[in-house]
Amino acid sequence: MILGTPIKVVEIVLDHLAYGLDAEGIHREYPHFTLGQIHSALAYYYDHKAEMDEELERSEREVERLKAEIDKLQGPSRLRAKLKAMGRLP
């Protein structure tokens, strides 16, 4: 958690990784965080990069597993099938 907020460090890290945002870019998106809080979150990530990257990969695998389980139970949605046919989904 980022001190004084209900936000987890991983949420800042995901914005950094997914959108390539630096601390200033994240601050523009989340002005309620101080630059110090953002830098601290990013420093924590880089100090614990291997463990955090592994946890992010585990979370992604779990999401994919759950999606597959839902597809198996319900069958793929028509929207999902249409997006796949259009090449917008793997």
| pLDDT tens for each residue of 7-22 | 899 999 999 999 999 9
Query: For residue 88, which amino acid is it?
Result: R
Task: Report the distance separating Cα 80 and Cα 7, nearest Å.
Answer: 31
Q: For the chain, what are the domain ranges?
A: 1-47, 50-90
Please identify every stretch of the chain with a pLDDT value under 70, giving residue numbers as ranges: 76
Q: Looking at residue 79, what is its pLDDT?
A: 85
Q: Residue 21: CB partners within 8 Å, gap ≥ 6? A: 15, 29
Instruction: Kindly state the tokens that stand for 15.
Output: 């914005």
